């Protein structure tokens, strides 16, 4: 077992007090979404799911807080049914289905798109999102749930994950494929998909138990990447890279976390956990760094020229921020 595995185990053990629920999420809101997906009529199965995903995907592009703050002030927020009704009067051939919409090209500030002669009848500008990319996202998500999932995401998930009957280590390929398919939604990448769906898959409901899937959904943000870089973990595993798409590959942060998770039996922390639990490893790293968690390892507390000397990892020589090139960490 490498020193980096011991370091991560130390981070997990020190933060057990932060989370009480065995699988972290058991919220009524999420159960309500699942209940509607399973038992709702065909016309209603996607309503709550759409709202949940759309709001989760606001964090794509630009400032997260800026996107969300602007959205909260809107009087005409996009909903599944509002978009369905808005499309009834649409004249643009790009607004027919998921495939035709892929090259929409709407730009809010320029008030144009790839069919500018039809912009006056386009329903996208009716929703005042912070950026045109978000307008495209909310329509792309609608088309995905309607056309790709056939307005039955429950059946879509059942078919994709064999009704959740496989163990964590057996669903890896299925999770990778799921993320690849869902990444077709405009401007939505692996990080947001992992974040949104891990919460949903961790929630249990009669007929819905996909905890083994959620355990494989590892969301890499700058905090997690920079922690792995700062502590020399990326270097030790020979996977050093800049933050970006590479983080969610086997040659990047995802590969490192999965290798570390193979060395940690998470059942020792809670008997209801699976032994192999990469999402938990990622979550505790994030919590150690985040201002809403322990607020220890981040750009405010630790800089390459001025490390956080109160950090236990630094005092135990587990952290070596000086090994990273200037400008790499934030």
Stretch among 164-168, 178-182, 260-264 having the lowest mean pLDDT: 164-168
228 and 308 housed in the same domain: yes
Q: Minimal CA–CA distance to 320: which of 258, 221, 235?
A: 235
More confident site: 62 or 127 = 127
Number of other CB atoms surrounding residue 169 within 10 Å: 16
This prediction's pTM: 0.89
12 and 63 housed in the same domain: no
Check residue 112 and give its pLDDT: 94
Share of residues in the chain with pLDDT > 90 (%): 63
> 57 is written with which tokens?
């995907």
116 and 223 housed in the same domain: no
- The reply to whether 10 falls in a domain is yes
228 and 295 housed in the same domain: yes
Report the C-alpha gap between 285 and 280 in whole angstroms: 9
Domain carrying residue 61? 28-186
Check residue 326 and give its pLDDT: 39
Domain count of the fold of the chain: 2
> Of 186, 207, 228, which residue sits at a domain end?
186
Compute the average pLDDT of residues 252-269: 94
54 and 8 housed in the same domain: no
Q: What is the pLDDT of residues 108-156, one digit of tens each?
A: 999 999 999 999 999 999 998 888 999 999 999 999 999 999 999 999 9
Asked whether the predicted pLDDT for residue 62 surpasses 60, the reply is: no
Compute the average pLDDT of residues 80-99: 96
Asked whether 67 and 58 are in contact (CB, 8 A), the reply is yes
- The reply to whether 208 falls in a domain is no
Check residue 325 and give its pLDDT: 44
């Amino acid at each position: 077992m490498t020193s980096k595995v011991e370091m991560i185990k130390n981070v997990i053990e020190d933060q057990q007090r932060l989370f009480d629920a065995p699988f972290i999420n058991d919220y009524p809101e999420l159960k309500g979404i699942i209940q509607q997906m399973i038992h709702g009529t065909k016309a209603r199965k996607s309503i709550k799911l759409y709202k949940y995903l759309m709001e989760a995907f606001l964090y794509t592009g630009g400032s997260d807080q800026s996107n969300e703050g602007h959205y909260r002030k809107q009087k005409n927020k996009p909903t599944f049914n509002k978009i369905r009704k808005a499309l009834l009067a649409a004249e643009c051939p790009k607004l027919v289905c998921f495939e035709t919409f892929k090259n929409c090209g709407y730009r809010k500030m320029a008030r144009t798109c790839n069919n500018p002669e039809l912009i006056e009848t386009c329903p996208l500008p009716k929703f005042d999102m912070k950026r045109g990319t978000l307008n495209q996202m909310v329509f792309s998500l609608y088309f995905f749930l309607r056309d790709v999932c056939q307005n039955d995401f429950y059946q879509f998930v059942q078919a994709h994950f064999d009704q959740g009957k496989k163990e964590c280590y057996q669903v890896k390929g299925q999770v990778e494929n799921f993320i690849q398919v869902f990444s077709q939604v405009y401007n939505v990448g692996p990080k947001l998909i992992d974040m949104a769906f891990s919460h949903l898959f961790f929630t249990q409901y009669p007929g819905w138990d996909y905890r083994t899937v959620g355990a494989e959904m590892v969301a890499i943000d700058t905090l997690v990447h920079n922690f792995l870089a700062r502590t020399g973990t990326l270097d030790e595993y020979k996977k050093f890279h800049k933050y970006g798409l590479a983080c969610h590959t086997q040659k990047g942060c995802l590969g490192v976390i999965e290798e570390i998770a193979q060395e940690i039996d998470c059942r020792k922390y809670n008997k209801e956990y699976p032994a192999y639990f990469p999402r938990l490893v990622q979550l505790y790293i994030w919590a150690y760094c985040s201002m809403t968690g322990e607020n220890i390892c981040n750009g405010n507390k630790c800089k390459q020229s001025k490390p956080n000397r109160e950090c236990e990892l630094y005092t135990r020589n587990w952290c070596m921020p000086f090994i990273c090139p200037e400008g790499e960490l934030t």
